[in-house]
Amino acid sequence: MELTGWVRNLHNGDVEAVFEGPEDKVREMVEWCRKGPRLADVTGIQISEEAWRGEFRNFSIRF
């Protein structure tokens, strides 16, 4: 798996996610987030970059 991390819905309707992987794969996921799934109403995104720590082994949906 090239992209790892997690995603979760927050109580205020926002979505929080952490992605790790090759720069091109992370960039592709960020671009997808700008649109979201078909029924999403994305009004903006905030991006914070950090050094790759390699702490994730897979991608999960957190509740």
- Tens digits of residue pLDDT in 6-57: 999 999 999 999 999 999 999 999 999 999 999 999 999 999 998 888 889 9
Q: What is the pTM of this model?
A: 0.83
Decide the pairing of beta strands 59-62 and 15-20: unpaired
8 alpha carbon, distance to own chain's centre: 9
In the chain the domains, ranked by start, together with CATH numbers, are 4-62 (3.30.70.100)
Residue the block writes with tokens 């090759």: 22
Per residue in 44-58, pLDDT (tens digit) is 999 999 888 888 999
- CA–CA separation, 18 and 59 (whole Å): 9
First-last CA distance in the chain: 22
Residue the block writes with tokens 């949906």: 61
